């Protein structure tokens, strides 16, 4: 039982187009009025830890928060223990999904949205590389290591991001979504007994193919050789972080007793079926 003097809070660090809407729906269903989603209308706004702690102080019922705009590091405060949940995604497929998202849901005055709606995919990526490289350049490494997206990361940031991922309470990768849910539920349910990671996919974008490899091939075909090479170079640390995160999720799954793991897999099976039918990396 949770000591009366300690408050456990689960924080979902929602990276754009990384299955966050699906995870938010799961948390909302699990926690009800103890769940809170906080996002300013300005997409690039930042909700600092001081504001997060003030919100929790005003709302003692809140046990889990989801936001695009909270940033690492996880806050620390006497009387609180914070647990973090964050899904990562293949960076090439992520930029494809962002392109599709803004074509389906344009944002007036947003240059990224305007370019997505005015340009074919290859030219959209080229425009980002030239005008806003920080939007592509190892974004997920940057967010985990530095809590920012408007400065290009350095090589040492990969190790800092990896260390943060290894300490993460609930790491996830979109293309091994079901496995991520199984490990996350098993290790967090003793703290959050209401956590049930049955999570039908939400906010699914149209996509270019049924598999991750097919969608990657479509992105490559849409770009000139020079642009795709630059995209790969700007995504190299994100790609390495994804490999390390997949390995960590696999390691955690191996620690789960077989009978328990099977029961959890059965529970998330319908979510996996929905996700695979849409393409496993297309949940928003």
- What gap in Å lies between CA 64 and CA 156, rounded to an integer? 31
Residue 2 lies in a domain: no
Here the CATH number for the domain that contains residue 125 is 3.40.50
Residue 161 lies in a domain: yes
SS3 82: strand
Which residue ranges of the chain lie beneath pLDDT 50?
A: 1, 206, 208-209, 273-283
Query: Under 8 Å CB-to-CB from 42, ≥6 apart: which residues?
Result: none
Residue 11 lies in a domain: yes
Q: What is the pLDDT of residue 282?
A: 39
SS3 81: strand
User: Residue 254: enclosing H or E segment and its boundaries?
Assistant: helix 236-254
Q: What is the pLDDT of residue 166?
A: 98
Closest to 283 in 3D by CA, of 20, 1, 105? 20
Q: What is the pLDDT of residue 273?
A: 46
- What gap in Å lies between CA 23 and CA 202, rounded to an integer? 9
Q: Angle 157-151-111 (CA atoms, 0-180°, nearest 5)?
A: 135
Q: Residue 263 has which token pair? A: 């029961």
Closest to 139 in 3D by CA, of 85, 41, 37, 71? 71
pLDDT tens per residue across span 104-163: 999 888 899 999 999 999 999 999 999 999 999 999 999 999 998 777 899 999 999 999
Residue 226 lies in a domain: yes
Residue 283 lies in a domain: no
Residue 187 lies in a domain: yes
Residue 284 lies in a domain: no
Q: What is the pLDDT of residue 203?
A: 52
CA distance readout (Å), 210 to 89, 115, 199, 276, 278: 16, 26, 20, 8, 7
Q: What is the pLDDT of residue 208?
A: 44
Q: Residue 76 has which token pair? A: 């620390």
pLDDT tens per residue across span 188-209: 999 999 999 886 665 555 454 4
Residue 238 lies in a domain: yes
Domain limits for position 187: 7-278
- Model-level pTM? 0.89
The number of domains in the chain is: 1
The overall longest dimension of the chain from CA atoms, in Å, is 59
Q: What is the pLDDT of residue 151?
A: 79
């Amino acid at each position: 039982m949770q000591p009366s003097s300690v408050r456990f809070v689960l924080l979902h660090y929602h990276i754009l187009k990384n299955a966050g809407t699906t995870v938010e729906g799961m948390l909302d269903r699990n926690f009800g009025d103890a769940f809170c989603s906080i996002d300013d209308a300005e997409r690039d706004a930042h909700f600092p830890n001081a504001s997060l702690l003030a919100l929790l102080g005003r709302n003692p019922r809140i046990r889990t928060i989801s936001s695009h705009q909270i940033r690492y590091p996880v806050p620390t405060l006497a009387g609180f223990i914070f647990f973090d949940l964050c899904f990562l995604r293949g960076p090439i497929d992520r930029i494809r999904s962002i392109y599709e998202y803004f074509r389906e849901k344009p944002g007036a005055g947003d240059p990224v949205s305007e370019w997505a709606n005015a340009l074919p995919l290859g030219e959209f990526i080229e425009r980002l590389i030239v005008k806003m490289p920080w939007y592509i350049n190892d974004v997920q490494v940057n967010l985990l290591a530095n809590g920012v997206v408007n400065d290009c990361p350095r090589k040492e940031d990969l190790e800092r991001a990896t260390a943060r991922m290894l300490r993460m309470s609930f790491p996830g990768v979109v293309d091994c979504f079901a496995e991520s849910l199984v490990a996350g539920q098993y290790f967090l349910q003793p703290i959050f007994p209401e956590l049930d990671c049955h999570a039908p996919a939400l906010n699914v974008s149209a996509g270019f193919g049924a598999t991750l490899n097919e969608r990657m091939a479509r992105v490559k075909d849409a770009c000139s050789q020079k642009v795709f090479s630059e995209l790969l170079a700007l995504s190299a640390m994100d790609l390495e972080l994804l490999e390390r995160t997949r390995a960590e999720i696999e390691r955690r799954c191996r620690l789960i007793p077989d009978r328990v793991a099977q029961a959890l897999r059965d529970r998330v099976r319908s979510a996996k079926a929905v996700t695979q039918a849409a393409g496993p990396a297309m949940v928003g």
